[in-house]
Amino acid sequence: MFTALHIGVLALQGDFERHLHHVHLLHAATREVRRGADLDGLDALIIPGGESTTIHKLIDRFAMRDILTGFLKQHPVWGTCAGSILLAREVDDDRITPFGIIDVAVSRNAYGRQVHSFFASVNARLGKNQVILPASFIRAPIVSDPGPDVCVLAEYEGHPVLLEQRDCLISTFHTELHDDPMLTRYFLEKVLVATHGRSDSSAYRSAS
């Protein structure tokens, strides 16, 4: 299904191994991205959850910011939790300079500290299907002020938690910690359309 795709996962810090696992389950090729050269030949990038300020510092320490900026403007990207912070237009923390790939504002750790983490089931619209996603909110951010071109795919308690704009997808929660790769499947479908100009009609069969 997705065997022609090459998906990178930013592996500077955070839960990148679970994202790699889910992509493997769907038979796409994967690569851990730790240097700018690791982006060569990739169809898309996943920026995982973790500590957003730490990931931000490591991006600059390894001189990746310019090449990442160019890549993100031309390829599909999915940011989870910390990844969504880094991809936003605006962040409420002056220690972070976000990439501005999706037109939203983000507040870090808006639900509280690690002890306030929680699990929920989130109703989402993926393609033509309404699905229920397992969602772990771990020091999760809150998204606000989405721009007119941003599509909200899911909300939780009145807050947008899953959004997309063109080839950029962000989720403030984690699904990769659970067994169902449904959201990863949705992202790979977006990548397939962006890179090969076609949609795989079987991609959401398990979600229907």
34-64 residue pLDDT tens: 999 999 999 999 999 999 999 999 999 999 9
Q: How confident is the model at residue 114 (pLDDT cuts 50, 70, 90)?
A: low
Domains parsed from the chain with CATH numbers:
6-207 (3.40.50.880)
| Active-site residue, from 22, 164, 176, 189 | 176
| Active-site residue, from 22, 81, 168, 189 | 81
pTM for the predicted model, two decimal places = 0.91
The mean per-residue pLDDT over the stretch 89-104 comes to 96
- Assess whether 51 carries a catalytic annotation: no
Task: Output the pLDDT for position 15.
Answer: 87
Task: Output the pLDDT for position 208.
Answer: 30
- Assess whether 56 carries a catalytic annotation: no
| Active-site residue, from 22, 56, 174, 189 | 174
Q: How confident is the model at residue 75 (pLDDT cuts 50, 70, 90)?
A: very high
**Interval 152-163: pLDDT, tens:** 999 999 999 999
Say if CB 88 and CB 108 are below 8 A apart.
Answer: no
**Interval 169-188: pLDDT, tens:** 999 999 998 989 999 999 99
- Assess whether 174 carries a catalytic annotation: yes
